Chains A and B, each alone.
Chain A
Amino acid sequence: MTRNTELANLLVVGLITGIGFASVYMARQAEISAGSLSYAVLFLGFYLVAHLVARVTVPYADPHLLPMAALLTAIGLTLIYRLNPDDAFRQGLWVVVGVVAFSATLLLLRHDYRGLESYKYLFGIGALALLALPAVPIVGKTVNGARLWVDLGPVQFQPGEFAKLALIVFLAGYLREKREVLAQGRPKDLGPLLVIWGGAMLVLVQTNDLGSALLYFGIFLGMLYVATGRLTYVAGGTALFIGGALALYQVVPRVQERVTAWLDPWSDPDQSGYQIIQSLYSIANGGFWGTGLGRGTFTQTDGSELIPYAKSDFIYSTIAQELGLVGAAALLLLYMLIVVRGFRTALLADDGFSKLLAAGLTFGFAIQTFIILGGIVRLIPLTGITLPFVSYGGSSLVANFVLLAGLLLVSNRANALARAPR
């Protein structure tokens, strides 16, 4: 049975996590307590809860998605644990919140998630509102030059991560309804799309969050293509994007800085090029086999950090150093498999909304991964967004759990229909 496969896979993931934590512990015994090893056990426990909820709510859903997401989280958690056990504990708490959000999503929408379609405009406006939230004076907060945090006393979160999901739901609903007319190329139907999209862009530029702007743009174009099948839209959108990017390059110094740092990081190695240079040194240092967990070099001899944001934006650089090409390639393969399973779900779904939703969620996941990792390996200019499931950070983790729940819901329905006698 499908869910037993999932359980078996999760147990394997639990074993891998245990081995990972044990390796870190062995390499760094002097610094970390044996008690922290229990995080690995707790972690498996959380995922077993998620599994049980899935067993009840989405019995026919793809059995590989949850374990693969769990493995990603495990890799991230292991590296965070290696960098700072206390952070791993906090990240573990976020996994709990994530599992709760995951379970809540599944429970709420277990009968028919397609009802969401009726609220598509609410989701569209909601996405904009969430995006605009950090720009609101009192609650908004600027971190590292980008204003994308909301500070509500005890809780700080990045609403952008959730705006992404809302935007996908909106696009899935809207495009399902308008795809025929859009496919015929009636420009006036593009109106609401351009309004929502333009609003999103405006907010993002205003908050200086270039990575997310690129992400939303990619999701938008990808879903538009799936809905209409017209490459002219993609070409037009890309042209629009390039035009916008060039305009931004002229007026926003931050963009110029990023592009220069991308083309020639060594032109300013101590300032704008610093992050990417340190990241590349870290990756290169790992070589083929890596230094081994707990044995990489992330600090100066005086204990100060070498790689900035090692646990969040640059976690891939640390993975590449300690696990080498072998580990980095395995991680990328995992992302690829999740993407493939996601698109497979979209293919199997039998209605337009489900297809668009699954394709949108999957593509958003893929393109987010590409934007951050492409920046880290200097394939594209560097923009600070999180690596799904791996980076340290609560909002990102919780949002990705919800995204996973969405895919499972679509997958469950598609598989259930395929099994049911007609």
Chain B
Amino acid sequence: MNRQISRLAVFAVTLVIGLVVTTTYWQTWAAPGLADRQDNAIERVAEFTIERGRILAADGTVLARNRTKRVGGKTFYFRRYPQGRTFSHVVGYSTQGRSRAGLERSLNDYLTASNANLTTVLERTLDQIRGTTIQGNDVFLTLSTEGQRVAQNALGTLCGAVAALDPQTGKVLVLASSPSYDPNLIEERFAQAQRAPNAACTQPAAPLLNRAVNGLYTPGSTFKVVTAAAALDQGKFFLSSTFDDPGYCTEYGKRVFNYSDQGTPSGYGRVTLLQAIESSINSVFCNIGIEIGAGAILEYARRFGFYSKPPLELPAEERLASGLYKGGRPWFPEDMNDIDPGRLAFGQERLQVTPLQMAMVAGAIANDGILVRPQLVERVVSPQGRIVTTPATDELGRPISRQAADAITQGMIAAVRGGTSTAAQIVGIEVAGKTGTAEIGRDVNTTSFIAFAPAENPRVAIAVFLEEQDGVGGTTAAPIAKLVMEALLRDAGA
């Protein structure tokens, strides 16, 4: 019988070895894959044992902090957002039930100190071995607390967005979207957070949507800045170039009328390009569009950043590219005959833009034709007070020459001094701006305004977009831009 016993013993030992091998497989080879799975509750719980870094505005105002809770012998760190609705779209949220959004999502690695930097990884590992709580890095944003508050208040119940940045550095100073939501409600009262009963728009109010980077609007006349940039930079037109404005422009044998005098062809007569920018004369831009072609306009738009998602630190899913849209997707036509260059030239056609993109256009004009990368992160600071990273200013390119930028600036200054944009005037400061009014339906407009100030040494470039307005850009969006710019310039001056 001993032979059988020995064989049975070998069999039994083999079974146990099988267990060792399989356990080894799960704990080494398969472990990273399992840890990455979305439904891995252990990993998710573990994330809440990390003392997440705070998120702060440029002036140190706390936008996201932790609230500790002890459950079953473990300390968990849950998020509180002291500023409520004011910063919600940028900061986002970090919850168990609804995962993450905004910078809480895209900067998760910094906030949980799992960013792959040798020192932080070492500190984290030591923390793990000691069993002490892992502390994340604090993230300071470029946002101005005051500017953000003013923007959010100015938007009030309106649906729309404000994006403002420092044209020279790309630091985003304001990124406001309305209606907003209270991120503190996401975890437990999601349905309530999703509602915005007072919002003044009939379209789904969608308070969770970050309209500033994830909302698409018809730019209307604010896009004339891009058309003018193309015309001037190519050297085909100058500010002094003259046009005959009959009050409409003829395209394919049909008349496209100027906005203000709908149906009544009372034109401005003989005007220069400067006057056309100042008074936002559609027929002039329509003719420029026909002259230089849709391809040239779109090429310049692309140079300003259209057709790619603005490289902001927010999650890619929360950013949209601007450009012509077809079937819900950005569309760069291969055959330019498919689109109408005249309507494209004054921002109609199927053109869809984000407020941030238009702020970038204003910023590039302000910055002598140089486009810089917009950035929300000022610096990341480790729990020990060491600076983990301070993103530098990046030039994304030079869409237009300095001369062209200067010329457009003159046109935009004229628009604020005595043209369509007088509501944006600030006492003692020269403002350059351009309004936009896009008819969406009968007496329903998407209004917009882009601007920068002070015109001679710009510190702020801004874009304001409003939905479902019965007024025009100059009376609805421009006053909001003025308030925000005033606040930001005050902030910068102080």
Binding site for B on A (CB under 8 A): 27-28, 30-31, 222, 225-227, 229, 269, 277-278, 280-288, 292, 294-295, 297, 299-303, 306, 320-321, 324-325, 328-329, 332-333, 335-336, 339-340, 343, 346-347, 352, 355-356, 359, 362-363, 366-367, 369-370, 373-374, 377-379
Contact = CB atoms under 8 A, between A and B. Distances in A.
A339 B13 contact: yes
A284 B19 contact: no
Interface stretch (B69-77, B283-291, B466-474): B69-77
Given A222-B8, A287-B27, A303 B71 contact: yes
23 contacts: A28-B73, A225-B8, A226-B4, A226-B8, A284-B26, A297-B74, A300-B41, A301-B78, A303-B72, A324-B27, A329-B23, A332-B19, A332-B23, A335-B16, A336-B16, A339-B13, A339-B16, A352-B1, A366-B12, A366-B15, A367-B12, A374-B22, A379-B19
A332 B8 contact: no
Interface stretch (B28-36, B108-116, B226-234, B325-333): B28-36
B302 to A, nearest CB: 43
Contact of A332 (B6, B16, B69): B16
B95 to A, nearest CB: 11
Contacts of A379: 18-19, 22
B359 to A, nearest CB: 39
A299 B12 CA distance: 35
Given A281-B43, A339-B9, A347-B5, A299 B34 contact: no
A346 B27 CA distance: 35
Contacts of A335: 16
B24 to A, nearest CB: 6
A323 to B, nearest CB: 11
Interface in B373-430: none
Contacts of B27: 283-284, 286-288, 320, 324-325, 328
B336 interface: no
B467 to A, nearest CB: 39
Task: Say whether chain A's binding surface is mostly helix, strand, loop, or mixed.
Answer: helix
A295 to B, nearest CB: 6
B131 A27 contact: yes
A342 to B, nearest CB: 8
Contact of A301 (B18, B31, B76): B76
A343 B8 contact: yes
Contact of A280 (B12, B16, B19, B26): B26
Contacts of B9: 339-340, 343, 362
Contacts of B30: 280, 284
A340 B1 CA distance: 16
B241 interface: no
A29 B107 CA distance: 34
Contacts of B2: 347, 355
Contacts of A282: 42
Contact of B16 (A27, A288, A369): A369
A335 B19 CA distance: 11
Contacts of B71: 299, 301-303
Nearest to A374: B19
B169 interface: no
B93 interface: no
A306 B72 CA distance: 12
A369 to B, nearest CB: 7
A82 B35 CA distance: 23
B87 to A, nearest CB: 25
Contacts of A321: 42
A303 B46 CA distance: 13
Contacts of B24: 325, 329
B386 to A, nearest CB: 27
Nearest to B12: A366
A325 B23 contact: yes
Interface of B: 1-9, 11-13, 15-20, 22-24, 26-28, 30-31, 34-35, 37, 39-43, 45-46, 48-49, 69-74, 76, 78, 96, 131
A377 B35 contact: no
Given A269-B39, A281-B41, A320-B23, A225 B12 contact: no
B15 A367 contact: yes
A355 B211 CA distance: 80
Given A288-B27, A377-B26, 14 more contacts: A269-B39, A282-B42, A283-B23, A284-B34, A292-B131, A297-B74, A306-B42, A329-B20, A332-B16, A335-B16, A336-B16, A369-B15, A369-B16, A377-B22
Contacts of A277: 39
Contacts of A269: 39
Nearest to A228: B4
B6 A343 contact: yes
A284, A336, A346, most chain B CB atoms within 10 A: A284
A329 B20 CA distance: 6
B88 to A, nearest CB: 22
A145 to B, nearest CB: 24
A362 B8 CA distance: 10
Contacts of A363: 8, 12
Contacts of A373: 19
B42 A301 contact: no
A285 B43 contact: yes
A297 B45 contact: yes
B1 A227 contact: yes
Nearest to A277: B39
A304 B74 CA distance: 13
A294 B74 CA distance: 10
A250 B250 CA distance: 78
A216 to B, nearest CB: 16
Given A324-B27, A325-B27, A370-B19, A355 B13 contact: no
B61 to A, nearest CB: 28
Contacts of A329: 20, 23-24
Contacts of B5: 226, 343, 346-347, 355, 359
B48 A301 contact: yes
Nearest to B26: A283
Contacts of A333: 20
Nearest to B131: A295
Contacts of A367: 12, 15
Nearest to B2: A347
Given A226-B8, A283-B27, A359-B8, A30 B70 contact: yes
Given A297-B46, A303-B71, A229 B3 contact: yes
Contacts of B40: 281
A374 B18 contact: yes
B22 to A, nearest CB: 4
A362 B41 contact: no
Contacts of A278: 41-42
B28 A287 contact: yes
B152 to A, nearest CB: 31
A377 B72 CA distance: 27
B16, B17, B43, most chain A CB atoms within 10 A: B16
A401 to B, nearest CB: 21
A277 B31 CA distance: 13
Nearest to A346: B5
B42 A281 contact: yes
Given A303-B72, A320-B23, A325 B28 contact: yes
B4, B6, B20, most chain A CB atoms within 10 A: B4
A225 to B, nearest CB: 6
A306 B41 contact: yes
Nearest to B16: A336
B8 A299 contact: no
A28, A301, A325, most chain B CB atoms within 10 A: A301
